[in-house]
Structure 1
Amino acid sequence: MTRLLLATRNAGKVAELQRLLASAVPGVEVIGPRDVPEYPEAPETGATFEENALLKAREAVRYTGLPAVADDSGLTVDALNGMPGIFSARWSGRHGDDDANTALLLGQLRDVPDERRGGGFVCAAALVTPEGVEHVLRAEWRGAVLRESRGSHGFGYDPVFLPAGSARTAAEMEPAEKDAVSHRGQAFTALLPVVAEVLGGTAAAGG
């Protein structure tokens, strides 16, 4: 069985991406960083989500010799000229501190009226193989930033993100429901046929 490494140390992302990939690419075993010898995490030095996703996937291939999928994602807020963007995970200065990042964002938007609080989650998903094959796809999930958190599912800015046309935040959605419509869900669903073709499986991505 072919092994495919999900190159992320974010436990929430690993669970999310395993749900999306494991059942959709038969004959491919989806593993995470805990299933391979530890290697240094690539610094996110790219200027775009696409560049960072490719950097992470290339680094994983270089250290493990396995085909790898990686993503870079974040929240872009219109009133902040697209920020926090690629800096979403470290917006407060401490990487991965969801509470601090969200508190800073809400503070920056405190005086912004509701009609100007639009934004979107963006995800770039990349596949890189030891043979040098590279594919990267991008998707966006539009919505608005609320004034306070709602919901206990998800991670990051999910509790303050209200998707367009929804009465519930990303953190109030069930995982499978979120997978079907989120930025990561869209990006990885689009990447699934490529993964299946490149790794010799057959995709069953559906809807």
Structure 2
Amino acid sequence: SEPMAGAIGVGIDVHEPIGSMIIDVGGGTSEIAVIALSGIVNGATSIRIGGDKMDDAIIQYLKKNYNLLVGERTAEEIKMQIGSASPLDEEIEMDIKGRDLVAAIPKTVKVSSVEIREAISDPINSITDALLLSLERMPPEVASDILDRGIILTGGGALLRGFDKRFRDETNLPVHVAEDPLTCVVRGTGKILENLNSYRKVIY
């Protein structure tokens, strides 16, 4: 699973009896899992919401509020430049180029980080709700581990500004963004393939 590979990629010893919570926010899905003793405790939570849904929400918001049509690549760029999951210390603006849906000609509009946060609030809320549900279902014996260790964010979605703060505010737990979150799963998969014997339990 992606959370397991992500955990290994981050450098967590997945064989130990201490629980670690991983949230992997990818393009198409977000997965939440508690990992201990080479396995996933209590099953992973997977929802079909990730960065792609946020991009789509930005496209719809600009259509509805500005009659502006932009493509997926522009939407992703907007998300990474001024998107956020929680209020910023200093809100920012961006000039966005697209096509006017009424006049069918190119136009530029100025959009703020506050607006983009509102645009992507539904996908963000869905991922937050899934996290809270996972915490509710967590066995009590691993809850204290998560209190100590906190939650680790991996995947491209971890790069969204304020995602860690949003989860911290909602859960009162420490939340850490993995170093180079985009490559955690790939690095973890590589480690598994290099050490198939020691990760046998993880695979089967």
Which TM-score band applies after superposition, normalised by the shorter structure?
Answer: under 0.3
Larger radius of gyration: 2
Higher helix share: 2
TM-score with structure 1 setting the length = 0.26
